[in-house]
Chains A and B, each alone.
Chain A
């Protein structure tokens, strides 16, 4: 009469730790993560580490070249470029993080519910998402900001709107596969509600895919925010934004190129860092690559 377990229970190695180890062993991901963390730290610490007030105008040293009292020079109003870059990082990160968080929650929910319900409802929702997807993200952002007016919240709304469709798609695909698994059927047999099955059992299983998508779309969000600021539809001056600084610097590109070059490089660096992290995360969570 022995009905005991046939083998000792295996030691536990959480899947996320495996993924993290994989990401760590990839130098590209590491470099990207360092870049992002440095920019994040700069944004958070801006009030303390910025050498000058970003709005302070030093009329005597207008358009000063880099060096001396102003490490990265000053703009046409005599404002410190470095301080403005540090403060501008706040806007870039707030807008893109906010927009991606909103898009992630709304888009992810739409995708999961649509895939879970299936049938004609799913078909209809995904057609709507395809329509949203057919607008280039900059154009859609432009329309929304032009209609609502440029301020921080509207910028978040505009960028979030452009990112909802891709999140809905990335959440829907694995939901379609998961809802056929026996554990979802077991949930029905145990009397769980549909909401409980979607948010307690399907959501944790699609989270890795959604997180990878979020890190990749962060880069797009940063770019769209900078582009909108560049064409004057970003957060209004005198608040420093990287896109706005690049545009202002453009007027003096021939005699004072640092005005446009430094904010442009800041944008490039952040987008590059986010893309590197996103790619690394994708490789680490891709089950096809994980076992190699």
Chain B
């Protein structure tokens, strides 16, 4: 494997809240506890897990949209966390984000053209006529007519807005796109179109992706490798074919069984989901998954499992495989 495009080591983000009066209690929400992965150039890496497992927080922390508390993020050998000022601005050109909610991701009072030209102006890529031509070309690339340039976001549907959001992410010609649940807020019929667009862009522009999603079928179709997150940690990682078809970790198995299978014969088999995801403010000791795990052993509640390499690529953090 060549030098990774992005490397994340031991990323951590805790949110500290002080609640209560007159004696406030400090609550630490361990949104991201320990996350490590690498993304190779041109690779699509999926991050899956339930709501609240910290996958979006991890994505935002590595982009420094929220400041991580610990860990190391390296982009092409450059330390992301220590970058400041104009170097950070230059780094932002290389990594862009596509948001989940297409309704809040665009400034409601800014025309589409202005939203696409502003980043080019700020980074000195293009101005005036040139910028407008580039913006029109980007719109065409994401499947919108050039007439959309002078319109405002509220004139567009959710799917169209998501295309605009993708076009905006492309204005700076990034190498890596962090897609934070890019299709979860869209209708199923529109999801497929937007996913297809992302895949086309990936192939045409040679983009790398960090694809955050809770939809296993989407991740299987889009990603080369996938990591399964649970309570702020990665519990299993590997090639998406292997992890999603033959998961090793009991949690990954549970996720796979909960994912609908397009086979009428399978109807009626209820997924064995036990319990809710515990609060990240009060994670269980040992393996974070042990209270819900069907195969839990005594050791699971006392000792956190070590990371073990798996046959077929990747690895898993589970005492069953340790």
Contacts and interface: CB of A to CB of B under 8 A. Distances in A.
Interface of A: 1-7, 9-12, 14-15, 181-183, 185-186, 188-192, 196, 200-201, 204-205
Q: Give the most central of A6, A10, A192, A200: most B CB within 10 Å.
A: A6
Nearest to A11: B155
B147 A183 contact: no
Contacts of B137: none
Q: How large is the interface on B (under 10, 10 to 19, 20 to 34, 35 or more residues)?
A: 35 or more
Nearest to A187: B107
Interface string B202-238: 0000000000000000000000000000000000000
Interface of A is mostly: loop
A182 B104 contact: yes
Nearest to A2: B193
B168 A9 contact: no
B159 A6 contact: yes
Contacts of B108: 205
B15 interface: no
A182 B193 contact: no
A10 B156 contact: yes
Interface string B125-155: 0000000000000000011110110011011
Interface stretch (B3-11, B92-100, B274-282): B92-100
Contact of B151 (A9, A182, A186, A189): A9
Contacts, number: 102
Interface string B183-207: 0000001100100110010000000
B110 A3 contact: no
Nearest to B187: A6
Contacts of B36: none
A5 B144 contact: yes
Nearest to A9: B148
A15 to B, nearest CB: 7
A190 B119 contact: yes
A2 B189 CA distance: 13
B303 to A, nearest CB: 38
B137 to A, nearest CB: 15
Contacts of A10: 155-157
A196 B122 contact: yes
B185 to A, nearest CB: 11
18 contacts: A2-B193, A5-B143, A6-B160, A7-B157, A9-B151, A12-B151, A12-B152, A183-B106, A183-B107, A185-B60, A186-B99, A189-B95, A189-B96, A189-B97, A191-B119, A191-B122, A192-B118, A196-B122
B65 A189 contact: yes
Q: Give the most central of A183, A185, A189, A204: most B CB within 10 Å.
A: A189
Contact of A15 (B60, B154, B172, B197): B154
A111 B10 CA distance: 39
B189 A190 contact: no
Nearest to B165: A186
A201 B160 contact: no
A182 B189 contact: no
B159 A12 contact: no
Interface in B30-66: 60, 63, 65
Nearest to A3: B197
Given A183-B105, A189-B63, A6 B157 contact: yes
B89 A182 contact: no
Interface in B76-125: 88-89, 92-93, 95-97, 99-101, 104-110, 118-119, 122-123
Contacts of B106: 183, 186
Given A2-B193, A6-B190, A12-B151, A189 B92 contact: yes
A12 B156 CA distance: 10
Nearest to A183: B107
A185 B96 CA distance: 11
